[in-house]
């Protein structure tokens, strides 16, 4: 066993504090990763504060992990020491169900093992990337292209694949009009990726205060959803809407922005139920869907795409002792656009 430094939550109300955790010995198919950077995702906050169900404590969050291979098991062939690698939201799945066999491990029918807060096959609680090292099965490790700085790559392991997957599945590309709802941690990456795919991109944000950023990141248009005229002007305009926000929206109003056969896909996860009129769908053949991260093959595809197009997240790198402050700033929307922990400050 390897003892490593980490930051952990010990309850839903107390701040995260420094600690040490044990990492398992490197098995035949395992990769030991020296973590360089870990992104802070809003879901980290939801989890440690037990807002999505009661968490088991202590828990080390972090599922946007970028680092360097330190050691591999004897049966690992895809990675060697020194490789630049990443780990996202999953570290295992059953590998046997229909979804796993088709590369959609995120929808494992037996339930995948999350990077933190899950019970692994060995019966222990998984602990995430707010730590100096992690041991992961090689099937759940991905290579980070040299063209992407590790600190900018870390958020792609969640925000990148979460937005790339629906954009790819619903055919964002030349001749398609895509709207991104929200220009935050997810939305800003969605804009970059949709632009690189060749789509005409519009940002739909509550206000125009981030318009300059949105246009700089690749948006062609930017509209404020607080202005009722937006929904009249853009009625029937889009082939695809990717909703990245976790707030309650007037779904009927947003569905009215879709063209015939258009689709609106939710990747944000509001805690409250949402409602809509079925007529918003059936009268124009529209679809409303959800999407959850992506499988391991698609995650590697996303990273390769981002490497080819020079796409990384817009990040603010922080020291580990600033994690609790960063949480409060995330809740206040005071970040452009993703906090990333410099894990060297944990050592």
The CATH number that applies at residue 302 is 3.90.180.10
Q: pLDDT digit string (tens) for 50-76?
A: 988 899 999 999 999 999 999 999 999
Instruction: For residues 144 and 247, state if they share a domain.
Output: no
Whether residues 109 and 220 share a domain: the answer is no
């082939």: which residue's tokens? 239
State whether 45 and 151 are in the same domain.
yes
Domain boundary residue among 290, 313, 329?
Answer: 290
Q: What is the pLDDT of residue 330?
A: 94
**CA atoms of 335 and 333, how far apart (whole Å):** 6
Using the predicted structure, report yes or no on whether residue 310 has a pLDDT greater than 90.
yes
Task: Tell how strand 287-290 and strand 258-266 pair up.
Answer: parallel
**pLDDT surpassing 90 at residue 38:** yes
Rounded distance between C-alpha atoms, residue 316 and residue 337, angstroms: 7
109 and 10 both lie in a single domain: yes
pLDDT of residue 65: 98
Whether 167 contacts 265, CB under 8 Å = no
pLDDT score of 52: 87
Do both 214 and 340 map to the same domain? no
Same domain, 286 and 305: no
Last residue of a domain, one of 271, 290, 309: 290
Same domain? 236 vs 286: yes
| Residue 79 belongs to domain spanning | 2-158+294-346
pLDDT band at 272, cuts 50/70/90? confident
Instruction: Supply the mean pLDDT for the chain.
Output: 97
Residue 106: pLDDT band with limits 50, 70, 90: very high
Bridge partners, residue 22, by sequence: 3
Q: What pLDDT, on a 0 to 100 scale, did the predictor assign at position 169?
A: 98
- Residue 344 CA to residue 347 CA, distance in Å, equals 5
176-208 residue pLDDT tens: 999 999 999 999 999 999 999 999 999 999 999
- Number of C-beta neighbours around residue 323 at 10 A: 24
Q: Do 168 and 237 belong to one domain? A: yes
Cα Rg, the chain, nearest whole Å? 20
Final residue before a domain boundary, out of 290, 312, 329: 290
Q: CA-CA distance, 299 to 203, in Å (whole number)? A: 24
180 and 242 assigned to the same domain: yes
Average pLDDT for residues 1-23, to the nearest whole number?
A: 97
Q: Are residues 97 and 56 in the same domain?
A: yes
CATH number where 183 lies:
3.40.50.720
| pLDDT at residue 241, rounded to an integer | 98
Q: Taking 90 as the threshold, does the pLDDT of residue 81 lie above it?
A: yes
171 with 205, same domain: the answer is yes
- pLDDT value at residue 156: 98
Counted domains in the chain:
2
**Quick one: 151 and 171 in the same domain?**
no
Helix/strand/coil (H, E, C) string of the chain? CEEEEEEEECCCCCCCEEEEEEECCCCCCEEEEEEEEEECCHHHHHHHCCECECCCCCECCCCCEEEEEEEECCCCCCCCCCCEEEECCEEECCCCCHHHHCCCHHHCCCCCEECCCCECCCCCECCCCCECEEEEEHHHCEECCCCCCHHHHHHHHCHHHHHHHHHHHCCCCCCCEEEEECCCCCHHHHHHHHHHHCCEEEEEECCCCCHHHHHHHCCCEEEECCCHHHHHHCCCCEEEEEECCCCCCCHHHHHCCEEEEEEEEECCCCCCCCCCCCHHHHCCCCEEEECCCCCHHHHHHHHHHHHHHCCCCCEEEECHHHHHHHHHHHHCCCCCCEEEEEHHHHC
């Amino acid at each position: 066993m390897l003892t490593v430094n980490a930051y952990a939550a010990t309850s839903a109300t107390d701040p995260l504090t420094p600690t040490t955790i044990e990492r398992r010995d490197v098995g035949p198919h395992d990769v030991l990763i020296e973590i360089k950077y870990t992104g802070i995702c809003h879901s980290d906050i939801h989890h440690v504060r037990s807002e999505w169900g009661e968490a088991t404590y202590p828990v080390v969050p972090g599922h946007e992990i970028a680092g360097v291979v330190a050691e591999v098991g004897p049966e690992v062939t895809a990675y060697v020491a020194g490789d630049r690698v990443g780990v996202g939201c999953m570290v295992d799945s059953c590998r046997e169900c229909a979804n796993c066999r088709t590369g959609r491990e995120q929808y494992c029918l037996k339930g995948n093992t999350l990077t933190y807060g899950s019970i692994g096959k060995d019966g222990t609680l998984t602990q995430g990337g707010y730590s100096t090292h992690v041991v992961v099965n090689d099937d759940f490790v991905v290579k980070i292209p040299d063209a992407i700085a590790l600190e900018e790559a870390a958020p792609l392991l969640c925000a990148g694949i979460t937005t790339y997957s629906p954009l790819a599945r619903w055919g964002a590309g030349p001749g398609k009009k895509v709207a991104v709802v929200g220009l935050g941690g997810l939305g800003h990456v969605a804009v970059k990726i949709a632009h690189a795919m060749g789509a005409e991109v519009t940002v739909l944000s509550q206000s125009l205060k981030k318009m300059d950023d949105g246009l700089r990141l690749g948006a062609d248009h930017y509209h404020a959803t607080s202005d009722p005229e937006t929904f009249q002007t853009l009625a029937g305009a889009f082939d695809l809407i990717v909703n990245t926000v976790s707030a309650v929206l007037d779904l009927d109003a947003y569905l009215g922005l879709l063209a015939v056969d258009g689709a609106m896909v939710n990747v944000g996860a509001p805690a409250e139920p949402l409602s809509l009129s079925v007529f918003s769908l059936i009268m124009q053949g529209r679809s409303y869907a959800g999407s959850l991260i992506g499988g391991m093959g698609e995650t590697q595809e996303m990273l390769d795409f981002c490497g080819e197009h020079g796409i990384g997240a817009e990040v603010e790198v922080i020291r580990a002792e600033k994690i609790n402050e960063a949480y409060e700033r995330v809740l206040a929307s005071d970040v452009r656009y993703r906090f990333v922990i410099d894990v060297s400050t944990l050592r």
